[in-house]
Structure 1
């Protein structure tokens, strides 16, 4: 299995996609048919998919036997963007009934007192169709958000790692995850905000509109085109901490699972096991996301529900405690399941196109080669 020069150059920074397998400094020589430099005859020279190139960079093979897409190429980012669309759009649309009840609990806590009563009130007043109001703007908005969220996260993660260099990026990888996810979400929310505004209005104001086709024109007529971005700042306040927690905690949890809970190195695990790890790590990360971003989520729902509503109005009506707790149990259930499923779909798509799953145990930084000894007379 020859390793091309383009593969070496395309896999930087590889410590973000690596396993805990032992490095084999002579893998290149083995692959090309050269003598075996492995001093340990009991260790298979191909047991590790990591190698150090002549320049000292770490190279990591994909879980697939033959990679279809070159890492960090335009095709790689396009694949991540497509995976983001598949992971976010359909999953958010699937939980539309939970979202409708949650939004109404946030807007009218007197009428929608609990999860069970909220479903009952909605069913009685609007029928089964009421549970799926706003599904079209949900699908469009969160597909656009997912495309930007995952695609730009992969881009910014490598961009910031390249800026600081391999040593500091490996040492402060969590900061790289946080910075990359925050940068990506700033862009993603600009794509999401108009559809989120229409969605909330359709879901929380009976009789306002049937869906996107008539809801968007009514919204623009009432508040102008810029009114679609009225909730952008609160949306940033909700989504940026949410996404920072979603990506950084997921990467950390997955790394810990491969390091402490799974005895087999990641590159030797089956694809099914790796996707199971992605779901478990994503679910735990989703619970953390829900708690961190819930106050801002209440604000977004409140501001998009009524014309001229302010943050002060929301605090006055819901109270400080209400901002943190109103609808939280339902959101934990919804976001935990949602996030776990999203990571599974995203990593499943990456595996399908021949890319490695996200996260894993980062190897130790390669030690510098010893300087040759000077000859003395």
Structure 2
């Protein structure tokens, strides 16, 4: 009935890719690998960024000056502090995020009913799929991913912000659990959700529109003849812009997350503590460390999209669903 109504209205036939369980498992694995590899590689920048956020003496330092200070006082190995929790935590969270985005973008697109409607409401589809962390029908995926990520992130921040706190992931996790219990391990759960939602929106939605902007300014012949290096260049450029957007949108929550896991703020409920810390920090304080984080996030997001595509290709997975305004073909 829906197909006949679509044809009667003169709209394009609507064909969605039929992803198999194997395809979705590949999406998860590719997302997990690209996230853990890129976040692990960015550990030195993350160390400097976190110190700038929680150490008043470093609050006005740049990425380079902050890095020099840490190396001079603690040695070069200090820049790799927290590598273990970062790699482990983002393996799970990255897999859930990329898998969830592929899955829910298709589900939301199918609700449109036809290609023209999907293209018309593509922004809503992108936003819905990229913010699946808080959508009730999706929360079962990312909720558990953040349950796993939160204590690892808390451990990472303690290792980075408190010199000599522990020797690594296992000892740091054990000390935090022993001294502060579940409350300490999950102190950052609310701020990490507040951070991941705008981050995911910036990462996926802005990336989609950057690709669309590029392709809308190309002829069909040019698009068909694009070389692999050109495709990688487009993906890299789109990822960098998306990374800048993700960093800016999520920076206030990232700053509050670092402060909460460092033990800053008054006693009370988490919303109250976050409000007080935000007021104390002010606009400028909430964006402390934005420069290093923009560099880090641009590298993270661009690297993740490049690796995600390469890993999917290597594993023989199909391409994800695309909904671009310039396209006249079936999606």
TM-score normalised over the length of structure 1? 0.74
Q: Match for residue 306 of structure 1?
A: 263
Shift of 1:263: 6.2
CA–CA separation in structure 2 for the residues paired with 1:184 and 1:75: 23
Distance 1:218 1:210, change over 3 A: same
Misfit runs of 4+, over 6 Å? none
Asked if residue 201 in structure 1 is aligned to residue 158 in structure 2, the reply is yes
Please report how far the alpha carbon of residue 56 of structure 1 lies from its aligned counterpart in structure 2 after TM superposition: 3.2
1:149-196 Cα offsets, whole Å, 9 max, x none, are 000111111112223323432321121111111115751433321211
Three-state SS of the structure 1 residue aligned to 2:13 is coil
Distance 2:133 2:219 in 1: 31
* From 80, 88, 97, the counterpart of 1:149: 97
Cα deviation digits, residues 44-101 of structure 1 (max 9, x gap): xxxxxxxxxxx93347xxxxxxxxxx84111111111111012110111111111001
2:66 corresponds in structure 1 to 118
Partner of 2:126: 177
Shift of 1:132: 0.3
How many equivalent residue pairs?
301
Shift of 1:219: 0.7
Q: Which deviates the most, 266-275 or 230-239?
A: 266-275
Aligned partners of 1:332, 1:307: CA distance in 2, in Å?
Answer: 24
Give the match's secondary structure for 1:269.
Answer: coil
Corresponding residue number in structure 2 for 1:5: none
Q: Is the 8 A contact 1:235 1:297 kept in 2?
A: yes
Quick check: 166-175 or 100-109, which moved more?
166-175
After TM superposition, give the deviation of residue 292 of structure 1 in Å: 1.0
Q: Deviations over 1:89-143 (max 9, x none)?
A: 0111111111001001000132453123311221122111100010000000111
Deviations 1:292-346 (A, max 9, x none): 111111000100111765324533553332113x111111111112111111111
Q: Greater helix share, 1 or 2?
A: 2
Relative to structure 1, the CA distance from residue 262 to residue 227 in structure 2 (aligned partners, 3 Å threshold; closer, same or farther) is: farther
Structure with larger Rg: 1
User: 3-state DSSP class of the match of 1:224?
Assistant: helix
CA positional deviation for 1:269: 2.5
Q: Is the 8 A contact 1:83 1:350 kept in 2?
A: yes
Q: Shift of residue 225 of structure 1?
A: 2.3
- 1:146 Cα deviation after fit: 0.5
- Please give the alpha-carbon distance, in whole angstroms, between the structure 2 residues aligned to 1:264 and 1:329: 40
Given that 2:109 and 2:125 are in contact with CA atoms closer than 8 Å, whether structure 1 keeps it comes out as yes
1:246 aligns with 2:200: no
Flag structure 1 segments of 5+ consecutive residues without an equivalent: 1-54, 60-69, 367-377
Q: 1:256 to 1:111 in 2, by over 3 A?
A: closer
Q: 1:155 to 1:71 in 2, by over 3 A?
A: same
Match in the other structure for 1:210 = 167
Summarize deviations over 1:238-288 as a string: whole Å, max 9, x none: 110110111011011101111215764545433332222111111111011
From 173, 185, 190, the equivalent of 2:147 is 190
Give the equivalent residue in structure 2 for 1:319.
Answer: 282
The answer for the alignment partner of 2:307 in structure 1 is 345
- Distance in structure 2 (CA, Å) of the matches to 1:261 and 1:365: 15
- TM-score of the superposed pair, with normalisation by structure 2: 0.83
Runs of 5+ in structure 2 lacking a partner?
1-11, 267-272
**Cα gap change, 1:262 to 1:137, in 2 (>3 Å):** farther
> Which residue is equivalent to 2:290?
328
Listed as ranges, the matches of 1:65-80 within 5 Å are 71-80=18-27
- Could you say if the C-alpha distance between residues 218 and 350 of structure 1 is closer, same or farther in structure 2, counting changes exceeding 3 Å? same
